[in-house]
């Protein structure tokens, strides 16, 4: 019953869930999606949306502490992208200043911290160091998960309370969970560094804002088929210093907000706005889009799907500026493999692609209802095939240069 509800309410997310190899409880998933208003945030106040994200993250964190982890729906790219895009769109809301000011109290009220503290109190002195390290590991994952959704607020939050989400979480974790046990933990070799780091000046290097001078390189793709357009390989250069942040008014710089690795490169989850107006949000590896992501072109069109080392490769969906819509496989920024395209004029093609061309066996259906099933070579009917018209005529045989040449 709960599975059917999830499947109906969030069908795309449902497909992502069932593809995972993890165990999950449909009742819990239904509860989480209900808390998140089934990812339909437009009907909620900004404060309600943010609180709902906190609540779901909090329930997950507590479940991990209790060794009965819920399914982490925030790991699903579709869920993460819907939430972070919504967060970005509401940063100019009148509510945001109030939300930033109230963030400390809201986060302090999370059950995660009180649950972790309770576990520390119940632990024997002998087991305390190991327990503290286990809780710290869980907290680190918990912090990263929350920080990813509030990366767009970091600059605002710092202006209101003089710290980022990550550093705020560190402060609350230290004060509410570890501080009371400082005397015992700082004398243990295994926990000394943890206490010293968190108890000193708290600075987070997990989430950073960088302004870079890398850019989108445009190239024209000259192809015969309908629905092709120029693509855009993502140019990549290094970010400024580790975890650093700043603001620049130079017109030829890009704004990246997201996770950085120790080598100052974009790594993990983040969003970049290129100076030309394009945006990419999703996963990064070694400064390049890698994994699931969403790319939006300023000139129109979007792509949602897999990236490999900065290129569109794998399964995905792309809407072109022309209005054509393709779902299927890509390789190095081009349609390649199995896929289906719906042209703006109503025609469709489903079959194999190579190097952005209809190439191999496929079915082309015209908006009139006529359809051809057979072999294509670079968008041209070339080889054996069958043309069926809406009048019932069937023409079967060999084709060359789009023309029937007989049996």
Tens digit of each residue's pLDDT (9 = 90 or more) over 245-274: 323 333 456 888 888 888 888 988 888 888
Sign of CA dihedral 204, 209, 214, 218: positive
Per the CB < 8 A criterion, the answer to whether 360 and 376 are in contact is yes
Give residue 307's pLDDT. Answer: 96
Nearest to 320 by CA among 305, 306, 341, 338: 341
CB atoms near residue 187 (< 10 Å) = 11
Low-confidence ranges of the chain (pLDDT < 50): 201-251
Predicted model pTM: 0.65
How would you class 168 by CB atoms within 10 Å of its CB: exposed for 0-12, middle for 13-18, buried for 19 or more? Answer: buried
Sign of CA dihedral 331, 337, 342, 345: positive
Place of tokens 């008014």: 249
Give residue 219's pLDDT. Answer: 27
Per the CB < 8 A criterion, the answer to whether 117 and 128 are in contact is no
Residue 307 to residue 18: CA distance in whole angstroms: 21
Give residue 368's pLDDT. Answer: 93
φ/ψ (deg, to 5) at 264: 70, 20
Residues 6+ apart with CB under 8 A from 111: 58, 59, 62
Per the CB < 8 A criterion, the answer to whether 124 and 184 are in contact is no
Give residue 162's pLDDT. Answer: 84
């Amino acid at each position: 019953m709960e599975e059917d509800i999830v499947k109906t309410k969030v069908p795309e997310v449902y497909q992502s869930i069932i593809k995972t190899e993890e165990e999950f409880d449909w009742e819990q998933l239904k509860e989480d999606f209900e808390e998140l208003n089934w990812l339909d945030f437009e009907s909620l106040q900004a404060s309600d949306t943010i609180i709902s994200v906190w609540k779901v993250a909090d329930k997950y964190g507590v479940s991990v502490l209790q060794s009965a982890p819920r399914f982490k729906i925030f790991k699903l790219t579709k869920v993460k992208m819907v939430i972070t895009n919504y967060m970005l769109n509401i940063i100019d809301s009148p509510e945001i200043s109030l939300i930033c000011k109230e963030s400390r109290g809201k986060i302090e009220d999370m059950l995660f911290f009180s649950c972790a503290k309770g576990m520390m109190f119940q632990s024997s002195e002998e087991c305390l160091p190991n327990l503290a390290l286990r809780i710290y590991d869980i907290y680190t994952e918990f912090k990263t998960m929350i920080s990813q959704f509030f990366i767009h607020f970091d600059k605002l939050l710092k202006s209101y309370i003089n710290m980022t989400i990550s550093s705020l979480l560190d402060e609350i974790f230290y004060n509410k969970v570890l501080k009371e046990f400082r005397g015992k933990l700082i004398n243990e070799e295994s926990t000394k560094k943890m206490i010293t780091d968190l108890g000193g000046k708290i600075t987070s290097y997990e989430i950073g804002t960088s302004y870079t001078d890398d850019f989108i390189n445009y190239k024209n793709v000259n192809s015969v088929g309908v629905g092709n357009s120029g693509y855009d390989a993502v140019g990549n250069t290094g970010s400024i210093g580790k975890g650093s942040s700043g603001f620049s008014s130079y017109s030829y710089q890009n704004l990246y907000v997201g996770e950085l690795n120790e080598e100052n490169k974009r790594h993990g989850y983040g969003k970049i706005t290129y100076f030309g107006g394009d945006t990419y949000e999703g996963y990064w590896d070694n400064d390049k889009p890698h994994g699931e992501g969403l790319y939006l072109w300023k000139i129109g069109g979007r792509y949602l799907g897999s990236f490999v080392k900065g290129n569109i490769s794998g399964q995905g969906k792309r809407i072109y500026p022309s209005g054509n819509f393709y779902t299927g496989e890509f390789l190095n920024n081009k349609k390649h493999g199995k896929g289906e395209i719906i042209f703006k004029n109503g025609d469709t093609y489903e079959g194999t692609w190579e190097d952005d061309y209809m190439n191999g066996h496929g079915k082309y259906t015209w908006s009139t209802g006529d359809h051809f099933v057979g072999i294509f070579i670079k968008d041209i009917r070339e080889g054996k095939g069958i043309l069926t018209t809406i009048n019932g005529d069937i023409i079967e045989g060999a084709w060359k240069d789009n023309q029937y040449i007989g049996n």
